[in-house]
């Protein structure tokens, strides 16, 4: 009799363990909102995935660990989410609580031990060797050459306590070139894989994003917090703001608050085509930023805070964007929009589409 009771208790224990695991990993997800609880149970932050082009979402925040405890990054704000260029099942997440990576399409995550729970602002992976990973964190730029096992501090500036390296980027043509930028508006370039750095541009505004052109890596866009976008077509030798006829920000002047930047993505189906989210709304350029066109939205101009945006890599008419609480989808290039409630109570900060299977979309959330 004692043996039977022991087996029953053991079975119940394992069933409870499986149920909790499924709940965290996203297979089961429910919200209760009754009159006795005026506020719905707060949905988690972290990362979500859709396998049906945003029709439904599952939370994907299970954290793998050696202790056997069920842990998750569902209380973590996601600052950046990228694919390994050589493997669409491998993702990296820069967060307010460390650097995380997944080798399983976000089914589970692991933490880069060196950084612990320190904020990571940006991460970039070498296109030629997936074990080379660059990180922007605080006043430093780091590099791992052995798939995150060990790290080297490539560059640091301890003289300015308020300095933050906000973004780092690699390119897919010259394997030795790395770019980085900070909140002081300084753009740095390394031509020897991070051993030495040169400041190639100073802008009196924080740099928020680096976008390297998919067709010509000499063309790079640097988006600032509130001073617009700066562009180089020769790897930093000359700049768009040096001549009135090439100044991208002249094209933005016709759209009020468009220089209050949120996000910038490139249309992978066409050359020189980008979509930008700003305080104004959504703008599109088909000539590398010289001119911009307004994308009509359901909400009025400056009526919504747009954060995450994505364009389907095989169908440029299919556009997604996210706000505080809602995901918007257009199948006709922005003429008409459908709305979906966000699966999280946080801000829809990132929308990332799998280029091999565009029905798979990742969503990164950060706290409000």
pLDDT tens track for 163-195 = 999 999 999 999 899 999 999 999 999 999 999
- Is residue 35 assigned to a domain? no
What confidence tier does 65 reach under pLDDT thresholds 50, 70, 90?
confident
What backbone phi and psi angles, to 5 degrees, belong to 242? Answer: -80, -20
Is 19 a member of any domain?
yes
Residue 15 lies in a domain: yes
Q: Could you give the number of structural domains in the chain? A: 2
- Domain boundary (167, 202, 237) is at 202
CATH number of the domain to which 135 belongs: 2.40.10.500
225 domain-assigned: no
Band of residue 354 on the pLDDT scale cut at 50, 70, 90: very high
Find the farthest-apart pair of alpha carbons in the chain and give their distance in angstroms, rounded. 88
Q: Is the pLDDT of residue 223 over 70?
A: yes
Q: What is the pLDDT of residue 38?
A: 31
Task: State the pTM of this model.
Answer: 0.88
Sign of CA pseudo-dihedral 279, 161, 151, 366: negative
* Residue at 183 is within a domain: yes
Report yes or no: 144 and 151 within 8 Å, Cβ to Cβ: yes
Strand order in the sheet with 207-212: 207-212, 220-224, 229-232
Assigned domain for 234 exists: no
Residue span of the structural domain in which 126 resides? 121-202
- Strands in 309-311's sheet, in edge-to-edge order, are 309-311, 319-322, 326-330, 338-341
Predicted local distance difference test score (pLDDT) of residue 343: 95
Residues of the chain above pLDDT 70, percent: 88
Q: What average pLDDT does range 120-135 have in this prediction?
A: 97
Q: What are phi and psi of 115, to 5 degrees?
A: -90, -15
Indicate whether 239 belongs to any domain.
no
pLDDT band at 43 (very low <50, low <70, confident <90, very high): low
Residues 141 and 126: beta-carbon distance below 8 Å: no
Which one of 202, 220, 252 terminates a domain? 202
Residues 36, 13: Cα–Cα separation, whole Å = 31
Q: How far is CA 41 from CA 29, 34, 84, 216, 303, in A?
A: 12, 10, 34, 47, 27
- Output Rg (C-alpha) for the chain, integer angstroms: 22
Please report whether residue 359 resides in a domain: no
């Amino acid at each position: 009799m004692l043996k039977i009771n022991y087996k029953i208790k053991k079975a119940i224990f394992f069933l409870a363990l499986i149920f909790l695991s499924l709940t965290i990993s996203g297979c089961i997800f429910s919200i209760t909102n009754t009159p006795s609880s005026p506020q719905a149970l707060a949905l988690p932050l972290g990362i979500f995935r859709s396998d049906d082009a945003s029709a439904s979402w599952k939370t994907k925040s299970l954290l793998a660990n050696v202790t056997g405890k069920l842990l998750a990054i569902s209380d973590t704000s996601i600052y950046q989410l990228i694919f390994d260029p050589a493997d669409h099942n491998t993702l990296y997440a820069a967060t307010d609580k460390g650097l995380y990576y997944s080798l399983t399409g976000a089914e589970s995550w692991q933490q880069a031990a060196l950084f612990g729970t320190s904020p990571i602002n940006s991460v970039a992976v070498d296109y030629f060797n997936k074990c080379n990973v660059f990180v922007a964190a605080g006043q430093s730029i780091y590099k791992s050459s052995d798939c995150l096992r060990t790290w080297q501090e490539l560059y640091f500036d301890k003289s300015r306590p308020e300095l933050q390296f906000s973004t780092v980027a690699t390119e897919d043509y010259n394997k030795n070139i790395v770019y980085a930028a900070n909140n002081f508006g300084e753009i740095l370039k390394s031509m020897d894989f991070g051993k030495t750095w040169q400041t190639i541009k100073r802008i009196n505004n924080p740099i928020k994003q680096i976008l390297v052109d998919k067709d010509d890596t000499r063309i790079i866009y640097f988006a600032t917090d509130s001073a617009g976008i700066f562009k180089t077509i020769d790897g930093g030798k000359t700049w768009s703001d040096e001549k009135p006829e090439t100044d991208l920000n002249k094209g933005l002047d016709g759209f009020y608050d468009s220089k209050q930047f949120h996000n910038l993505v490139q249309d992978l189906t066409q050359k020189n085509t980008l979509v930008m989210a700003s305080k104004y709304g959504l703008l599109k350029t088909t000539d590398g930023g010289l001119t911009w066109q307004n994308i009509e939205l359901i909400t009025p101009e400056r009526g919504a805070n747009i954060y995450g945006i994505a364009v389907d890599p095989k169908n440029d008419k299919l556009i997604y964007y996210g706000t505080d609480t809602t995901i918007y989808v257009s199948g006709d290039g922005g003429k008409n929009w459908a709305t979906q409630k966000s699966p999280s109570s946080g801000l829809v900060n990132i929308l990332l589409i799998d280029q091999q299977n565009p029905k798979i979309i990742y969503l990164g959330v950060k706290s409000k």
